[in-house]
Amino acid sequence: MPLFQPFRGLRYRGLTDVTAVAAPPYDVIHGDERDHLAARDPHNAVQLILPIASAHGDGYATAAALLDAWRADATLAPDATPAFYGYRMTFTDPHGARRVTHGIVGALGLPPGGPGTGDILPHERTISKHRSDRLNLLEATRTNLDPIWGLTPAPGFGKLAGEPGPDCQRAVDDAGVEHEAWAITAPDQVEAIAEAVASAPLVLADGHHRFETACAYRSARAEAGAAHPGDDAIMALVVELAEDELWVAPIHRLVHGAPHARLRLAAAFAVEPLGPATPDSVAELEDRMAEAGALGLVDPEGVALLHARPEVVDAELEVEPPEARGTDAAVFETAVLPRLAGARLEFRHDASVLAAAVARGDADAVVLLRPVSVAQIRTASYAGVRMPQKTTFFAPKPRTGLVFRALDD
């Protein structure tokens, strides 16, 4: 069963409010956001997760040099004793409801056989380019800079974190989400947390690339005769696999290099035009998609629903496992993308921002997808099925910078 252990967290010292030094996960930072984050504070974590070349060498060497420097001047320092870390996110969801996600950060043991083995269950496919980038960064820094996200069916798991202690650090992100993290060292709590995670298989929610990277890195180190105990685990945020603990948002597809998408897709989808593209019509389109069980389209002609033609799409979906066929990501992969020859994709969850990119002429179209449910994720994971890449977007994202895990600590 999954091994979940405390570790000596590497944390910013002398700060209770870490808003200025915290950053979003690397894969949701777009455009000039990196520069804005770096300008907030010279020690912002974005310098580590999205490093750029400097006098120290390439970006990866720069990240390693910064880590060394920040440890040397005590900007960062490891905790004296191993701990789990309670992690709480308080936010308002898109429907206006106040919600709280309760989790615990620890060192999750990597399965001996690597990805797809043991009791850590991935649920979606990965992109090789992202894996190589994270591997280079891990090799240079020997540090888990942001946690992957795992889901446990253990009931009431979040309550095991208790309430924030006096060492709690807080950050508020640009969307107004409050993030809190605190050390958990009480022996009874530590034991209960480890036992809860070990009680059942763990579903990977987010961080598939980093998980596969950690497994590859461990294997490479072992083959080189340089194995270290720290290589056998990865920092992970574990949250209960429950509807009230999770908010799953869709991931949409921004299309470049494939004009006339509406015409190209007409053979597989009945296109229902809904008028010009405006912020209100895009929001209404997302509501209509849920009602109609359809994909959405934003292109220079406006907004439209894409109703799959069953006689075409159902047959093409046969290449997907039954547990994945009900997802919009599978429909896109099998019935949309092949008809957009030459397309280059970007994956984003903010529909209004993507629609604005089309209006400016920066992209040819946006194909909007509906979010998957927690039940669909559970079913696919326990069946050993991987859904298409970028199927799920768990929100809000934990903030990078509240705790790091150095493999050599």
Q: Are 143 and 10 in contact (CB under 8 A)?
A: yes
- 108 forms beta bridges with 4, 234
User: pLDDT tens-digit profile of 178-191?
Assistant: 999 999 999 999 99
Q: Are 409 and 7 in contact (CB under 8 A)?
A: yes
User: pLDDT tens-digit profile of 212-238?
Assistant: 999 999 999 999 999 999 999 999 999
- Half-sphere exposure at residue 247, Cβ-oriented, CA atoms within 13 angstroms: 21
List the structure tokens of 22. 């915290």
Q: Which residues of the chain have pLDDT under 50?
A: none
Please give the pLDDT value at position 126: 64
Q: 39: which residues sit within 8 A by CB, 6+ positions away? A: none
In whole angstroms, give the CA distance from residue 195 to residue 141.
31
In whole angstroms, give the CA distance from residue 24 to residue 22.
7
Place of tokens 């229902």: 272
Please give the pLDDT value at position 174: 93
Please give the pLDDT value at position 349: 86
Q: pTM of the entire structure?
A: 0.85
Pairing of strands 247-249, 393-395: antiparallel
Cis peptide before 42 (omega within 30 of 0): no
Place of tokens 């191993």: 82
In whole angstroms, give the CA distance from residue 62 to residue 70.
12
Taken in order 35, 36, 39, 42, the sign of the CA dihedral is negative
CATH of 251-370, one of 3.30.1760, 1.20.120, 3.30.70, 3.30.300: 3.30.1760
Instruction: Indicate the DSSP class of residue 334.
Output: I
Rounded alpha-carbon distances, angstroms, from residue 286 to 251, 340, 382: 12, 22, 29
**302 φ/ψ sector (left φ>0, alpha ψ -120 to 50, else beta):** left
Ranges of each domain in the chain: 4-248+394-406, 251-370
Q: pLDDT over 90 for what percent of the chain?
A: 81
Please give the pLDDT value at position 327: 93
In whole angstroms, give the CA distance from residue 355 to residue 285.
11
